[in-house]
Chain A
Amino acid sequence: MRCRELAEFLMDYVSGELPAENREHFELHLTRCRNCREYLVQYEGCVKAGRMACDEQSDELPVDVPEDLVKAVLAARKLDPSS
């Protein structure tokens, strides 16, 4: 397995879906290739970073809704015949 194939199998490897035979080749390549080890770490890091950055509980996401949007929603609701 070369770096190119390893990159292709990365997602399945990370999710544990890579078939055993491919996994062996994958891991063998990893032991020999520092660059692919680094790529794997960063790939997994991005998945984690995305999740952590968009965590709803995180402080910096806007909790206050723009005032004009509040007004627009409430006005639209009054006009909505089906509510």
Chain B
Amino acid sequence: MELDAGGTPWLSRFKDPGLARRLIARLGRELSRPVRVMEVCGTHTWSISRSGIRGALPEGLELRSGPGCPVCVTDQTDLDRMIALAGRPGLVVASFGDMVRVPGSAMSLEEARALGADVRVVYSPLDAVALAGSTGSQVVFLGVGFETTAPVAALAVEEAARRSLKNFSLFSRHKLLPPALRALISDSRTRVEGFILPGHVSTVLGRRGFDFLASELGVPAVITGFDPVDILLGLKELVGMVCRGEARVVNAYGRVVREDGNPRARAAMDRVFQPADELWRGLGPIPQSGLRLKPEFSPFDAEARFPLPDPAPRPLPRGCSCGEVLKGILAPADCPLFGRACTPERPVGPCMVSSEGACAAYYHYGWVPAREGGEGR
């Protein structure tokens, strides 16, 4: 990774606060009636909260956060499986950092580590392959994430195969976003009229990968980047379409996202993974929305190698509204536990843990209900 100091100057066009303020004013004029749209991706949720956009939105425009937080949509039973894997003696479990603090039914991966489990935080599945190459222990990578992380996990499995590693395996709970968006639209309680589509996933799927939203489901959507001006330009486009009753999928992030996305990344996923029915936290089972290893890669399949009894499904903590929040039915502050029983220090649900979770974003960036006086937003 190369970070060019001059490449992303703070005052670039896409961060220019003056331009952003003018766009907010124009957004208000675009709005001819109350509109509710959803930002699908957790990175957008954070950027919108952090930049102050959430506080500057015109009256009548509601932005709901969606299911685009990989850790948040990992089902409780899958989380419990991962924690059970970590509890096996001699097994090293490698995970993205976000995952380790999510409370499972009995404990989190972090708590399992305190009890002696070997849980390592890595930043890429390829690091887990490197780890396997340098130890004698069995290394299991916990694969979560969408079309952005799945290609890297695919490359990691191919790398392990190329090196004939006998001690690397993947526990895949990678998920596909388009089927989840279909499921959301078919849930009448969501009442979302348009989508801000995830910029990163779109780099892989391309604009074409989301065209079905408009052509099949009649829902407008915009692909945007993550800077305030990007987001506001995208919102203006989207609100305009909603108010005019138009349904198109517009790529407003053309400097990064191509019409056809990244065919090589998709090819890597296709070589290694096959779609499978998948359980999403909050959204429930969605057909063909998960990725599992193809049979020819079964030596690298952690589930084949370390069979686990299915953990008994346990009820979610009482009052946790993560499911409704992930579907955009509720805003984080509408959850009765938000900021009271559930805080980043003592999270009840995953949405309060992950750096992409909506509840954590609202909490960290102060869009919380007032305890005395004033209603929350």
Chain A partners chain B: no
Q: Which residues of A line the B interface, CB within 8 A?
A: none
Q: Which residues of B line the A interface, CB within 8 A?
A: none
